[in-house]
Structure 1
Amino acid sequence: MALRVIRAPGRPQWAPEDPLDELAERLAEVCAAAVHPYEIAAVLEAAGLTDEQAALRYGRPDSFALAEDLFQRVQRSYPEPKAPAVDPWRGSLWHCLLRGLVFALPGLAYLLAAPLLGSRSYSGGADPGTLALASSVLVGWSWNQALSHRAYSWLGLGARAEAAGCLGVGALLGALLGAAAAAPWGAPGAVVAFAAGQSAYLSAATVLMVLGRQRYLLVAIAPTAAGAGVTLLVDLSPAQRGWTLACSLAVAVALAAGRVLRSRRTGRSPAAVPAARSASLPHGLFGLAVGVLVLLASLGDVWHFGAGGAVNGPSAVALTLSMGAAEWLLYRFRSRSLAGLRVSRTTSEFLARTGRTLIVTLGGYLAALALVGYAAALLWPNAPLLDGLRLPALLLLGAVLWTALLLQAFGAAWPPAAVCAAAAVAETAAMVGHLADPAVLQLAVCGGAALLLVATAQAQLSRVTAHR
Structure 2
Amino acid sequence: MSGPLRLVPGEGDCLPTLPRPRGGPRRRPSWAHDPIDELAERLVEPVAAAVHPYEVAALLESDGLTGDQITERYARPDLFTLAEDLYERVPRHYPEPPPAPDPWRPDPLRCAVRGLVFALPGLAYVLAAGVWRGSADVTGLIVCALAAWAWNQALAHRAYLRLASGGPAAAGRTLRVGAPVGALGAAVVGLAVSGPGAGAAFAAGQSCYLAAATVLLVLGRERVLLLSLSPVAAGAASLLVWRPWPPLALALLLATAALAVGAAGHAVRTVLKKQGGAGTAPPLLRSLPYGLFGLAAGVLAALAGAHDPRSVVVLTLSMGFAEWLLYRYRSLAVAALRSSATPRGFALRAGRTLALCLGAYLAPLALGALAAGAEPAPVIGLGAVAGSPSPGRARPRRGRRSRAARGA
Aligned partner (choices 198, 201, 206) of residue 198 of structure 1 = 206
* 1:465–1:342 Cα change, 3 Å: closer
- Does structure 2 conserve the Cα–Cα contact (< 8 Å) formed by 1:338 and 1:467? no
Q: CA deviation at 1:246?
A: 0.7
> What residue ranges of structure 1 are gaps of 5+ in the alignment?
1-9, 11-27, 33-69, 120-126, 302-311, 378-384, 412-462
Aligned partner (choices 29, 52, 56) of residue 48 of structure 2 = 29
In the alignment, is residue 90 of structure 1 matched against residue 125 of structure 2?
no
In the alignment, is residue 158 of structure 1 matched against residue 166 of structure 2?
yes
In 1: Cα distance, 2:311 partner to 2:138 partner: 17
In the alignment, is residue 329 of structure 1 matched against residue 325 of structure 2?
yes
In the alignment, is residue 135 of structure 1 matched against residue 143 of structure 2?
yes
Aligned partner (choices 71, 78, 102) of residue 117 of structure 2 = 102
Which one has more relative contact order, counting CA pairs under 8 Å at least 6 apart? 2
SS in 1 for 2:266: helix
Q: CA deviation at 1:348?
A: 4.8
Task: Specify the code of the residue in structure 2 equivalent to 1:395.
Answer: I
Aligned partner (choices 296, 299, 305) of residue 303 of structure 2 = 296
Q: CA deviation at 1:115?
A: 2.0
Task: Specify the code of the residue in structure 2 equivalent to 1:276.
Answer: P
Q: Name the structure 2 match of 1:443.
A: none
CA RMSD of superposed structures (Å): 3.2
In the alignment, is residue 75 of structure 1 matched against residue 90 of structure 2?
yes
Aligned partner (choices 369, 376, 382) of residue 397 of structure 1 = 382
Q: Name the structure 1 match of 2:184.
A: 176
Counterpart mapping for 1:210-289 below 5 A? 210-267=218-275, 269-270=277-278, 272-289=279-296
In 1: Cα distance, 2:382 partner to 2:247 partner: 38
Aligned partner (choices 387, 390, 394) of residue 406 of structure 1 = 390
* 1:347–1:285 Cα change, 3 Å: closer
Task: Specify the code of the residue in structure 2 equivalent to 1:287.
Answer: G
Q: CA deviation at 1:284?
A: 1.1
* 1:349–1:140 Cα change, 3 Å: same
Aligned partner (choices 288, 294, 312) of residue 316 of structure 1 = 312
* 1:80–1:467 Cα change, 3 Å: closer
Deviations 1:410-464 (Å, cap 9, x if unpaired)?
A: 59xxxxxxxxxxxxxxxxxxxxxxxxxxxxxxxxxxxxxxxxxxxxxxxxxxx95
Deviations 1:235-290 (Å, cap 9, x if unpaired)?
A: 211111111111111111111111112222224534x2121122111111111111
Q: CA deviation at 1:209?
A: 0.9
Q: CA deviation at 1:30?
A: 7.3
Task: Specify the code of the residue in structure 2 equivalent to 1:29.
Answer: A
Deviations 1:203-237 (Å, cap 9, x if unpaired)?
A: 11111111111111111100010001112201211
In 2: Cα distance, 1:356 partner to 1:345 partner: 16
Q: CA deviation at 1:318?
A: 2.1
In 2: Cα distance, 1:116 partner to 1:273 partner: 46
In 1: Cα distance, 2:281 partner to 2:352 partner: 36
* 1:340–1:71 Cα change, 3 Å: farther
Q: CA deviation at 1:89?
A: 1.9
How many pairs were matched up?
A: 326
- Does structure 2 conserve the Cα–Cα contact (< 8 Å) formed by 1:93 and 1:325? no
Deviations 1:286-323 (Å, cap 9, x if unpaired)?
A: 11111111111111x3xxxxxxxxxx222222222222
In the alignment, is residue 341 of structure 1 matched against residue 337 of structure 2?
yes
Q: Name the structure 2 match of 1:373.
A: 369
- Does structure 1 conserve the Cα–Cα contact (< 8 Å) formed by 2:330 and 2:391? no
Q: CA deviation at 1:72?
A: 12
Deviations 1:63-93 (Å, cap 9, x if unpaired)?
A: xxxxxxx999523586667533432221112
In 2: Cα distance, 1:283 partner to 1:145 partner: 6
Q: CA deviation at 1:128?
A: 1.2
Task: Specify the code of the residue in structure 1 equivalent to 2:390.
Answer: L
Aligned partner (choices 338, 350, 359) of residue 354 of structure 1 = 350
* 1:184–1:112 Cα change, 3 Å: same
Q: Name the structure 1 match of 2:16.
A: none
- Does structure 2 conserve the Cα–Cα contact (< 8 Å) formed by 1:171 and 1:207? yes
Q: CA deviation at 1:100?
A: 1.4
Q: CA deviation at 1:334?
A: 2.2
Q: Which has the larger radius of gyration?
A: 2
